[in-house]
Structure 1
Amino acid sequence: MWPHHPSRKEVLRFAVSCRVLTLILQVLTRFLGSSTPIVYWFPAHLLQDQEPLLKSLELVHQKPPVGDSPPGHKVPRNPIMELLYNWKACSLVTRYILGYFLTYWLLGLLLHCNFLPWT
């Protein structure tokens, strides 16, 4: 048996304070993520400085899509996809950075779709 049964006021106060805290954290995270490019510049800087695979990626010849593109048109590859395809050849720093962003994306996808607090 509980020594103290919380009153409705206490339960309501606790629920409201938890929700307000959750809202503040979500809004702050969204503001920081959308208005502060340094959060993305720093990992990009680390990737450019410390990943040898990025230095070796070049434009490749691909068949142009249907249209007016000249033959031999160069199409740039997506460097992030190249890093993901060559995961085992990447440096440790690159693996940590890619792992962080992939984990953040997957957690956000799972939690937000289930109406759990995530930004």
Structure 2
Amino acid sequence: MWPQDPSRKEVLRFAVSCRILTLMLQVLTRFLGSSTPIMYWFPAHLLQDQEPLLRSLKTVPWKPLAEDSPPGQKVPRNPIMGLLYHWKTCSPVTRYILGYFLTYWLLGLLLHCNFLPWT
């Protein structure tokens, strides 16, 4: 079962160490990401301060619903979808934050579906 050649033992030890390190990093990242709201508060704070589209939503006394929209015009219920619809008019800070989270989501989706380590 265990290889007798010393070089094979070193390779096996290296492979096991890499696997344990990868698993520990994945678990730690998932715990920190799900239990630390600061990672999400800071980008939300930046979006509220830097994005005029979100400030204009706060000043409107009513929020238009998707059912109340005129025919042919789509009014999003989610403010993030509104930012994505108006990508070219967003501030650079908003573009960077949305780009980071969208890239992280897309890479995680692609790598996880292919059984590759992604945290």
TM-score by length of 1: 0.81
SS at match of 1:115: coil
Aligned equivalent of 1:21: 21
- In structure 1, C-alpha distance between the alignment counterparts of 2:65 and 2:31, rounded to whole Å: 40
Matched, 1:60 2:64: yes
Structure with the higher helix share, 1 or 2: 2
Using CA pairs under 8 Å that are at least 6 residues apart, name the structure with larger relative contact order, 1 or 2: 2
- In structure 1, C-alpha distance between the alignment counterparts of 2:87 and 2:67, rounded to whole Å: 26
Query: Per-residue deviation at 1:62?
Result: 4.5
- In structure 2, C-alpha distance between the alignment counterparts of 1:11 and 1:61, rounded to whole Å: 60
Q: Percent identity?
A: 85
Aligned equivalent of 1:114: 114
SS at match of 2:81: helix
Can you list the C-alpha shifts for 1:50-70, whole angstroms capped at 9, x where unaligned?
A: 100111124015537xxxxxx
- In structure 2, C-alpha distance between the alignment counterparts of 1:17 and 1:61, rounded to whole Å: 53
Runs of 5+ in structure 1 lacking a partner?
Answer: 65-74
Aligned equivalent of 2:43: 43
C-alpha RMSD over aligned residues: 2.0
- In structure 2, C-alpha distance between the alignment counterparts of 1:9 and 1:79, rounded to whole Å: 55
TM-score by length of 2: 0.81
